[in-house]
Structure 1
Amino acid sequence: MKHLFLFLLTLVAFPFSYAQQAPFQDEINQFKQQDEQHFPPKNAILFVGSSSFRMWNDVQSYFPGYTIINRGFGGSTLPDVIRYAPDIIFPYHPKQIVIYCGDNDLASSDTVTAKTVFERFKTLFTMIRQKQPNVSVVFVAIKPSPSREQLMPKMKQANILIQQFLKTKPHTAFADVFTPMLNDAGKPRKELFREDMLHMKPAGYAIWQKALQPYLLK
């Protein structure tokens, strides 16, 4: 009985503390700890988004001569990036922000449409421009992966909507990685992917490097 009382007292004192923790909070905390030890330089190029960036551990080696901050995390969606923008975007005052996200949004639910992804991106873009009106923003096209081939029509439409939107905004670019990752039959090139057919091998990142290089600011 005594143990039960102590357990109930703990629940009252710390109500749902674990259940209320936001997704990916641990990874964000790790970024903050890294920043406390060695804060990145201002005017760098910030890569932010989901696991395709998170797993690009050697991204700096692909872009010698540029200062890259990689803040890809988890299997994040655009709402996750929006949630953590005050933690992993705005403090760095980057001169350029490169975004890869939307892939997991479409995979999260059948109710998420290309327009949903587009509206979420516009929300993030607006937040960024309110804080840094002249910052350069590059969106990396949602990639076609074999494990999510069924989502390719939505991916194509989301990419088109975002690309058309960015054409109307100054200091922006759209890096098309979608097209060069397809074979002659219009299918995702399996040789670019790891066993999970979702995350990329170095050959995939080589395509991304080629697509991004022309848009990065020196």
Structure 2
Amino acid sequence: MKLIWIISLFCIPVLSFGQTQPNTTKPAFEAEILAFEKVDKVALTPPNPIVFTGSSSIRLWENLAEYFPKKTVLNRGFGGSQLSDVLRYADRVIVRYRPKQVVIYAGENDVASGKVTGQQTYERLVALFQYVRQKLPNVTFSFISLKPSPSRRKYFPEMDVANQLIKDYLAKQKNTQFIDIRPVMLTPAGQPVPELFKPDSLHMLPAGYQRWAKVVGPYLK
């Protein structure tokens, strides 16, 4: 019995040490968000801007302000993100700027992960919308439809499900917009226009953003 008690004394510190080790792994995209915050410390952000956020289709729209010179726009996209990531960082990429409008493009990566259905993507959007609306009751909430990227053709059916569910949901909410960019990105036969995409068949060339701007522009406040 005494031997067991002595062994236990040696085990307790080891177990306790293992249990109290700090988790030093940074959350995904933390570096990108910190970079935004660093910029904000040295550059004055405009009051009540139109915040664009979401995945790489927003992040790579680097000259966003040139497309909308009469609007006060702020790009806070971070590539590779999913709707769940936008929700996680909503306070830091949306709410803190007190925007008059937020334009979201996210959800494509969710579906393309192969682990998230169109239904689940819709549910993620609803969670994001409800959070933003709670924090910013008067903000205009705009969602850009998931685009038809040729490299993700096999996911089109699930993306269509997500788009339709999101469109129907936002139609029932106040001060919301579903911005459908698919018609200007498809041929008459319903296929993606290849000239709009980079060689990876995922990210867009300037020609793609020019078409987006023509569709998105009229929705901006």
- Identity of matched residues, %: 47
5+ residue gaps in structure 1?
A: 1-10
Q: Which residue of 1 aligns with 2:14?
A: none
Q: Which residue of 2 aligns with 1:213?
A: 217
Q: Which residue of 1 aligns with 2:112?
A: 107
CA distance in 2, matches of 1:137, 1:12: 43
CA distance in 1, matches of 2:67, 2:59: 15
CA distance in 1, matches of 2:189, 2:70: 37
Deviation at 1:209, TM superposition (A): 0.5
- How far does the alpha carbon of each residue in 1:32-86 deviate from its partner, in whole angstroms, 9 at most, with x for none? 0001112312211000100000000001100011011000002100010011111
CA distance in 1, matches of 2:182, 2:108: 12
Indicate conservation of the 8 Å contact 2:57/2:79, yes or no. Answer: no
Indicate conservation of the 8 Å contact 1:54/1:73, yes or no. Answer: yes
CA distance in 2, matches of 1:151, 1:207: 22
Q: Which residue of 1 aligns with 2:15?
A: none
Deviation at 1:185, TM superposition (A): 1.9
Q: Report whether the alignment pairs 1:79 with 2:84.
A: yes
In the alignment, residue 175 of structure 1 is paired with which amino acid? I
Q: Which residue of 1 aligns with 2:200?
A: 196
Q: Which residue of 1 aligns with 2:8?
A: none
Indicate conservation of the 8 Å contact 2:112/2:155, yes or no. Answer: yes
Task: Choose which of 40, 44, 47 in structure 2 pairs with 1:39.
Answer: 44
Q: Which residue of 2 aligns with 1:90?
A: 95
- After TM superposition, the structure 1 = structure 2 runs for residues 18-57 of structure 1, keeping only pairs within 5 Å, are 20-57=25-62
Greater CA drift, 179-188 or 40-49: 179-188
1:47 counterpart SS class: strand
Q: Which residue of 2 aligns with 1:7?
A: none
Task: Choose which of 55, 70, 74 in structure 2 pairs with 1:65.
Answer: 70
- After TM superposition, the structure 1 = structure 2 runs for residues 110-121 of structure 1, keeping only pairs within 5 Å, are 111-121=115-125
Q: Report whether the alignment pairs 1:141 with 2:145.
A: yes
Indicate conservation of the 8 Å contact 1:149/1:188, yes or no. Answer: no
In the alignment, residue 171 of structure 1 is paired with which amino acid? N
1:123 counterpart SS class: helix
Which has the greater radius of gyration? 2
User: Scaled by the length of structure 1, what TM-score is found?
Assistant: 0.90
In the alignment, residue 40 of structure 1 is paired with which amino acid? T
Deviation at 1:15, TM superposition (A): 3.9
2:148 counterpart SS class: coil
Indicate conservation of the 8 Å contact 1:50/1:77, yes or no. Answer: yes
Q: Report whether the alignment pairs 1:128 with 2:132.
A: yes
CA distance in 2, matches of 1:140, 1:50: 11
In the alignment, residue 212 of structure 1 is paired with which amino acid? V
5+ residue gaps in structure 2?
A: 1-17
Deviation at 1:16, TM superposition (A): 4.0
- How far does the alpha carbon of each residue in 1:94-131 deviate from its partner, in whole angstroms, 9 at most, with x for none? 0000000000000112x311110000000000000101
2:137 counterpart SS class: coil
User: Scaled by the length of structure 2, what TM-score is found?
Assistant: 0.89
Indicate conservation of the 8 Å contact 1:48/1:99, yes or no. Answer: yes
Greater CA drift, 179-188 or 44-53: 179-188
Q: What is the RMSD of the two structures over their aligned residues, measured on CA atoms? A: 1.5
1:48 counterpart SS class: strand
Aligned pair count reads 204
Task: Choose which of 181, 185, 188 in structure 1 pairs with 2:185.
Answer: 181
Deviation at 1:14, TM superposition (A): 6.9
Deviation at 1:12, TM superposition (A): 10
